[in-house]
Amino acid sequence: MDKRYVYMDYNATTPLREEVKAAMVEDMDVYANASSIHEAGRRAWGRVELARGKVASLIGSKDPKSIVFTSGGSESNNTVFNTMYDLGRKEDGTLGERCKIITTSIEHPCVMNAARRLADEGFPVVFLKVDGTGRIDLDELRRELDPSRSAGGPTLLVSVMTANNEIGTIQDIASIAAMAKAAGALVHSDAVQAAGKIPIDVEAWSLDYLTLSCHKIYGPKGIGALYVRKGARAEPLIRGGHQEMGIRAGTYNNQGILGFGLAAELAQRDLASLAARLRSLRERLRDKIVARIPDVRVNGHPTEVLPNTLNVSFPGAEGEAILLSLDLEGIEVSTGSACASGSLDPSHVLMATGVGPELAHGSIRFSLGRLTTAEDVDYVADKLEPIIARLRRMSTVSSKVE
Amino acid sequence: MSDAFEWLYSPIVKEHFTNPKNVFDPDEGFEPDAQGVVGNIKCGDQMMFMLKIKDDRIADVRWKTYGCASAIASTSMLSEVIKGMPLRDAYTIKPSDIASRLGGLPENKIHCSVLGDKALRAAIDSYLEKTGRPGAFKGEDAVVICNCLNITDRDIEQAVKDGARNWEQLQAATKIGTVCGGCKPRAEELLHELVHIYGD
């Protein structure tokens, strides 16, 4: 079999779409500051506003002004938690009556660490557990939202990611938001991994905040957005000029914003067909792995899962060794192993789903995307089988799933 | 032309990872005189050494490893280095010796993945015990950590193997740092590392 180059790490980032790249290159000559009120400035501003509408449309918002452009997902998430730092305290700096924060134990590190910072500042913060499939327990959420049945007082914010980056599990955001709203809380969802893969509807779900990143939807890096429902408060992380309704200062990133707009438009146009195609490729890959390699465990939810994300544990083999073996064959994936992350602990997401450290260390995430083909999937399955067999042969650890 | 981004580790690591030497093969019928296992599945690395010993020399060696590419490569390299070596010399091999023979390893990989020397010492210790010389090499090449009480890195390692998991337990076991206390930062760092390796 000829060696191929197979990129299966689309959840890490995606290649820039040709159309987006071309539009951005063309826009490079539009140097005017979109805040300037002369003609060139107005023309640049027009492009920014057109893009804003396209990003709003991707997530079901009819209000383009609800979109605040940021540098990416981490900044958007931090803006929300930083806002809670203000909303949760009284003028004298002490904690207000409503200051409880509810999030989950499987969020992206930027949410986890922003929430931990609030906990360090004295806020009551709850990290909801997830079940073996990666979903939160709605009864536990209901209990945490009820001050008569849990500690911490009334809830200020519920922040639950739409879909998980590592295992792809999709949460029931509509139900979560309805419960949070009924308890008087604000609702945020980190939709960085969900955007472009599943339909998002901030209005139907009645969210207050939603986080987006452009480079996960075949656009450029360094640009993202925060949806802020009309009337919801948002405090700037970066203070300065009046850009972005005063929520995010800094000169407009014209090319990034333009690229984001086009990427969002194309993502919305292609969503249904791309999701259907990727779902079938994901199933093909899963079925081949399960049929050909003994003692594997498919992680995440069996049905409520992103169409492109397949997370599999290979007990007895270690993730970094699997990843680098695949890399030598031209296949690029990621792992939940500690050895690949530079930390000592394996994936907090897999550990939260209750798989032991051994299954977490031996996990591989295959994330498929626009350019993935059936031939790529077959190539990966063919190469994976002898790699796992070889690593297991030299392993001290049994491959049996307990 | 060399390309620094072509692979994550050195070319020597790559060679030992893709073609590891002396891996244990259950069909081969290798019968060891001694064996030792070290490692913690929580950390993601575990190693086993099996030795054939003749006249206090390592006549042959096999190993198994659960671990990342650098763990596999360093165990393979260690197995090559110790063939024919007197037990006493093999006992004092340090992780840094193996790392440098591999053309270097990233700092965060040296402690976690180079468990081979510890698995090897465990195998040699078991052999010494079997041949009626328990602890014969204890103290060989040890580094003194606590100067006041002459407590070495090996003493700390033994205390952790015997169950010490924090500073108080280490002090109870060794009396370390009970005089001037100047060794505490270094000793705690070592303790943390060893607990990660031996802890459960």
Q: Do A321 and B68 touch (CB under 8 A)?
A: yes
Residue listed under structure tokens 């029931």: A172
| Res A111: pLDDT | 97
CA distance A163 to chain B (A): 27
Query: Measured between alpha carbons, how far is B51 from B83 in angstroms, rounded to an integer?
Result: 9
Strand-pair partners of B60: B52
Taking only the tens place, the pLDDT of each residue in B99-155 is 899 998 887 777 656 688 889 999 999 999 999 988 788 767 678 888 877 888 888
Which residues have CB under 8 Å from B183's CB, separation 6+?
A: B145, B146, B147, B148, B151, B176, B177
Element (H, E) at A380: helix A374-393
- Chain B positions in Cβ-Cβ contact with residue A397 (cut-off 8 Å): 41, 46, 66
DSSP state of A216: G
ipTM attached to this prediction: 0.88
Amino acid letter, residue A315? P
Query: Measured between alpha carbons, how far is A243 from A227 in angstroms, rounded to an integer?
Result: 15
B67 touches chain A (CB under 8 A): yes
Phi and psi, residue B132, nearest 5°: 75, 20
DSSP state of A150: S
What own/partner pairs with CB < 8 Å and gap ≥ 24 does B18-23 have? B18/A328, B20/A394, B20/B72, B20/B73, B20/B75, B20/B76, B21/B76, B21/B79, B21/B80, B22/B61, B22/B62, B22/B63, B22/B76, B22/B79, B22/B80, B22/B83, B23/A393, B23/A394, B23/B62, B23/B63, B23/B64, B23/B76
| Res A261: pLDDT | 98
Closest partner residue to B65 (CB to CB) among A320, A342, A394 is: A394
Q: Do A318 and B45 touch (CB under 8 A)?
A: yes
Residue listed under structure tokens 């607990």: B195
Which segments in chain B show pLDDT lower than 50?
1
Query: Measured between alpha carbons, how far is A182 from A318 in angstroms, rounded to an integer?
Result: 45
| Res B111: pLDDT | 65
Mean pLDDT by 10 residues, chain A (402 residues): 91 98 96 95 96 98 98 98 97 96 97 98 98 98 98 98 98 98 98 98 98 98 98 96 93 97 98 98 98 97 98 95 96 87 81 93 97 98 98 86 50
A390 touches chain B (CB under 8 A): no
Element (H, E) at B50: strand B45-54
* Beta strand segments in A66-110, E: 67-70, 100-104
Q: What is the mean pLDDT of chain B?
A: 87
Amino acid letter, residue B130? K
Q: Indicate the SS3 state at residue A154.
A: coil
Contact B46, B56 (CB under 8 A): no
Q: What is the pTM of this model?
A: 0.91
| Res B1: pLDDT | 42
B59 touches chain A (CB under 8 A): no
Query: Which chain A residue shows the shortest CA-CA distance from B106?
Result: A342
A329 touches chain B (CB under 8 A): no
